[in-house]
Amino acid sequence: MKDKTEKKGLLAVSFGTSVNATREKTIDAIEADFREAFPEYRLYRAWTSGMIIRKLKKRDQIQIDTVTEAMERMLADGITEVVVQPTHVINGVENDQMAADVQKYEDRFERICFGAPLLTSEEDSRMVVEAVMEEFRDLPPEEALVFMGHGTAHYANSVYAALDYRFKDMGYPNVFLGTVEAYPSMETLMKLVRASGAGRVTLAPFMVVAGDHAVNDMSGDDSGSWRSRFEAEGFAVNCVLKGLGEYRGIRRLYVKHIQDAL
């Protein structure tokens, strides 16, 4: 008979990244915090990006489970109680799909529960602003801090504009949050940063990992990157390639979401 500790599984679900250096500092670090906070749970990993899973398998011969494969693995291991914690930033397309994949297994486990993505409640927004600004507490008043979120066609995208507003409301008028693929767009940010009177801009990814978007779309040499576009407008630009998963306060919030789920 298996002992009780083996019957509890904690599934950490991430979008994934093909940049190994940032994975170690972000996804690996988040999962290490999960292990430490919940030693009675056996930790499993799944990624939701099929493209990244295939790339790692081909390039590095590393096999990462999809959500379905991880659920099957837990069944085979005799897990009966599952807690699923996504490292997703918002309740968007990836999170909806992940939840749908897990729910197909509802009748095959005694219990399945879900922790919330990073930005789910009003309290989350406040804690995220505090965690992020702890990292940038020395930001000079003449400098704008511009975060690059991913963005989505999903209605949950409104979270980005709401969080931008929350930064201002909590006393950070020179902090701006935009997205690569939706609203607020780079064009919107440029207008707002110009109106702020800032002469310098610090760019940072508002994504769990500082992956391809941070390296190319945000800080790349290409004329279309955010760095190049701000520089073309006369701003002095500094890029911080640090994913949200590297911020201790953000990792603590993910741990809190598991506690709330339990």
Query: Hey, which residues are catalytic here?
Result: 150
What are the tokens at 26?
């972000």
Q: In this structure, are residues 164 and 192 in contact, taking their beta carbons and an 8 Å threshold?
A: no
What are the tokens at 144?
């704008």
DSSP at 5: G
Rounded to whole angstroms, the Cα distance separating 186 from 190 reads 6
Please give the sequence-ordered ranges of beta strands (E in DSSP) within 35-132, or none if there are none: 42-47, 81-86, 111-114
* Residue among 35, 33, 30 at smallest CA distance from 16: 30
Rounded to whole angstroms, the Cα distance separating 87 from 210 reads 14
Rounded to whole angstroms, the Cα distance separating 135 from 172 reads 13
Q: Residue 243 contacts by C-beta under 8 Å, 6 or more apart in sequence?
A: 22, 25, 26, 205, 207, 208, 209, 210, 211, 214
**Secondary structure class of 239 (helix, strand, coil):** strand
Relative to beta strand 236-239, strand 200-205 is: parallel
Distances (CA, A) of 38 to 11, 41, 117, 249, 258: 12, 6, 18, 18, 9
